[in-house]
Structure 1
Amino acid sequence: MSNMQHELQHLPASAGLEARTVGRVGIVGASSTGIGIAIQLLDAGVPVTFYEADAAALGAGLAQIRSAWTDTHDSRLALLAGTINFHHLKDADLVVDASETEGGEALFRRLDQTTKPGAILATAAAGAGVDRLAGATRRHGEVLGLRVDRAQVWELVPGRDTSDPTLATVGALARRLHAPAAARR
């Protein structure tokens, strides 16, 4: 059994639920975590909207992402949209806060108001309280933590109210990326 299969077995029983399709992922923050997640998604053919409020930081982050491929005409780059306009996250099915500053509750409140109904909101911030962030939204069941290690292994960290369909959806995305995913309850 491969390492990936072993890790995927640790998903909760909800993994058997019908997972929603994640067609576009928004990433907030040009951090090394945000850049790594973007590259992994683009490698799997998942469109990414990469948001950073600071234009210089956005440019540097996009340059790092583009440097992942030697061919400047690589088809994956067509799936990447960089923006300093927060409103461009509105069509994402999943938005990951990968900012190095604690966006916290204010960011999640803003994401809740900007993103479409049903969009999943995730934090990659170490130690961020998922329940606290979910409490700032009207979608408590669609908020979770997401830890991505250096090997790009995804660990889903549900909050108290994170729904099984949310876990199934993000778990299915992790499988689509051919990356191990694990969840703890």
Structure 2
Amino acid sequence: MNIQLVGVVGAGQMGNGIAQVAAQFGFNVIMTDVSGAALEKGMATISGSCDRLVKKATMTEADKAALLGRIKTSQDLSALKECDIIIEAATENIDLKLKIFKDLDAVAKPAALLVSNTSSISITKIAGATKRPEQVAGMHFMNPVPLMKLVEGIRGLQTSDATFTAVRALAEKMDKTFVESTKDMPGFIVNRILMPMINEAVYTLHEGIASVEAIDNAMKLGTNQPMGPLTLADFIGLDTCLAIMNVLHDGLGDSKYRPCPLLVKYVEAGWMGRKSGRGFYNYAAK
């Protein structure tokens, strides 16, 4: 499949990152969001990311201008009607994603591929919301998208070989390393392993075994991780971590995936991590 025009649904940290990378590698992009303010913020984030690359001399001002010129924005999903592939990067909420895919199926051209950036939700279930399930796949980018090399590819039960080949080729054209999750299971590869570790770190705090700083330092220095699990949770968003743990717990039915009560309480308090100014660390005070 000759992919020229890429659609992105969602202008948040994942959506604008995907849009930036697609445009960086020569694709024309249409980024949509229900919020005009989110689109403005997303474009400002992309521009700021490019400025950092210019400062590092890995991008020129002309490259930046060309990249930004390849991205158009809209608050209307129908703007994606001519896209060859549409990548959904909305909040990790199953009901929202099912609605988006049903709506995309109605507006996208018949040959278009519909792809989800979900980090944990069943691609088979998402595909079932459309009348083109064989043209639906998972393409899970890592955050921050411009810097992280990995893309997880996930086949739904209905995904065709042609669709999956096209998704792999697109990831590789974006200079990403494509790793296939051979089964459409909750959490796929990365979050099946990562989120229980983060959840266990929260339990370690909850049970008074160690402080936030001690937990993070122990894992950084003891296992050579670039950041501690609680710092990483704040970076990801505690609401996202909780949503993924709920998917794992509900989907696999094993008590070992039960979200830590402290994680639940933090989300209830609105302490979502960096994006809210407070999580396991207080960013508003910095």
Which aligned segments of 4 or more residues in structure 1 are displaced greater than 4 angstroms?
none
Q: How many residues align?
A: 166
Counterpart residue number, 1:171: 168
Unaligned runs of 5+ in 1: 1-19
Larger radius of gyration: 2
Alignment partner of 1:91 is 2:72: no
Structure number with higher helix proportion: 2
Length-normalised TM-score, structure 1: 0.84
- Equivalents in 2 of 1:165, 1:80: separation in Å? 27
Alignment partner of 1:81 is 2:75: no
Alignment partner of 1:68 is 2:49: yes
- Equivalents in 1 of 2:160, 2:142: separation in Å? 24
Q: One-letter code of the match for 1:123?
A: S
Counterpart residue number, 2:111: 118
Percent identity over paired residues: 28
Instruction: Note the C-alpha offset of 1:101.
Output: 5.2
SS at match of 1:61: helix
- Equivalents in 1 of 2:75, 2:92: separation in Å? 16
Contact preservation (8 Å) 1:143, 1:159:
yes
User: Which stretch of the first structure deviates more once superposed, 48-57 or 123-132?
Assistant: 123-132
Partner deviation per Cα, 1:115-163 (whole Å, 9 max, x = no partner): 0011111111222221111111111111111111131411111100100
- Equivalents in 1 of 2:85, 2:42: separation in Å? 20
- Equivalents in 1 of 2:154, 2:67: separation in Å? 28
Q: How does 1:27-176 map to 2 (within 5 A)?
A: 27-70=8-51, 71=61, 74-100=65-91, 102=93, 103-150=96-143, 151-176=148-173
Contact preservation (8 Å) 1:36, 1:152:
no
Q: One-letter code of the match for 2:73?
A: G
Instruction: Note the C-alpha offset of 1:68.
Output: 2.4
SS at match of 1:69: helix
Structure number with higher strand proportion: 1
- Equivalents in 1 of 2:180, 2:112: separation in Å? 19
Instruction: Note the C-alpha offset of 1:69.
Output: 2.2
SS at match of 2:154: strand
- Equivalents in 2 of 1:167, 1:101: separation in Å? 22
SS at match of 1:128: coil
RMSD between aligned residues = 1.5
Contact preservation (8 Å) 2:12, 2:38:
no
Unaligned runs of 5+ in 2: 52-60, 183-286
